[in-house]
Amino acid sequence: MSDEYEFTNEVYYDDDADESVLADKTVAVLGYGSQGHAHAQNLDDSGVDVVVGLREDSSSRDAAREDGLDVATPVEAAARADIVSVLVPDTVQPDVYEAIREEMDPGDTLQFAHGFNIHYGQIEPSEDVNVTMVAPKSPGHLVRRNYEAGEGTPGLLAIYQDPTGEAHDIGLAYAKAIGCTRAGVVETTFREETETDLFGEQAVLCGGITSLVKHAYETLVDAGYSPEMAYFECLNEVKLIVDLMYEGGLGEMWDSVSDTAEYGGLTRGDMVVDDHARQNMEEVLAAVQDGTFAREWINENQANRPAYKQLRQAEKDHEIEVVGENLRALFAWGEAGSEAEEDTEETAERERQRADD
């Protein structure tokens, strides 16, 4: 890293956080899904007084108790807590907050791992409570695994309101207790986290890359090439390239591929993802910034998700999914990837549980 580079946002590490801030406080973790189980267990292992808030009919209650945690209803947990960490899905958070609102005393802290509902006004907290965000940049099972290994997961810290003057210290102490300051915690805002997160998901991580893969696959198959070869070249090898970029940036990737691949990528990449694609990205960002996407998603949920269900099924039915499932089952490298598949299944199961909680 260049000695001349200065981070735009402040970055905090273990020495910057004081866990004693949490010594006399109880933390209620609402939800026991992907993030909830990791936060609750890491906090508990860090010596923090934790209570998990789950509905009486929640399927996660037994799991939380088996993990040695105290369990109560969300209202009971919030009543006991000084810090309430809301880790249920975005779509149910407003209803959960309305249920616990009266249990939050002046000076308590309301905490999130994503800024959606605060930023778009779906939750309007009382002015006398701190509102913070501690957001690990990783699925919950990795947050937990890294903590147990003595390592950390990078995270974000944001303060929305701070009537006590202690919100920043509380958020940073919480980040340390779940292991994030071991790796580094970047300070941001609710607006920046929400809008960049949604844009990244839509333009690259979940939307852009899957659309690019499908279009490339269809181009080869329509030109007469076998589905198997199209799958290998347009989907299977994506992981190899992404891993290189993750480990060392674009430079590491270019240094690792062949000169032919590098020249082809440098000269043809912008032909595919051109200025028109950039304009489309700007439209996607604008819809995030002005709340168009948020309103669309809120309305979609209120209507019982008809478009979501249809699009989800169409994605599952795409030919590339059929080809890929059979190839992965056929080849030995499918067995080598079984641990990763188990991680994915674990995350999916945690997400299903979290949706129920």
Catalytic residues: 114
109, with CB counted inside 10 A (0-12, 13-18, 19+), is buried
* DSSP conformational letter for 202: I
Residue (of 81, 101, 105) closest to 93 by Cα position: 101
What is d(CA 71, CA 61) in angstroms, rounded to the nearest whole number? 7
What is d(CA 30, CA 37) in angstroms, rounded to the nearest whole number? 10
Q: How far, in Å, are 71, 328, 335, 336, 345 from residue 341 at the CA level?
A: 30, 11, 9, 10, 6
Look at the block and give the residue holding tokens 């609750």.
40
Residue (of 259, 213, 215, 254) closest to 236 by Cα position: 213
* DSSP conformational letter for 150: T
Q: What is the CA radius of gyration of the chain?
A: 22
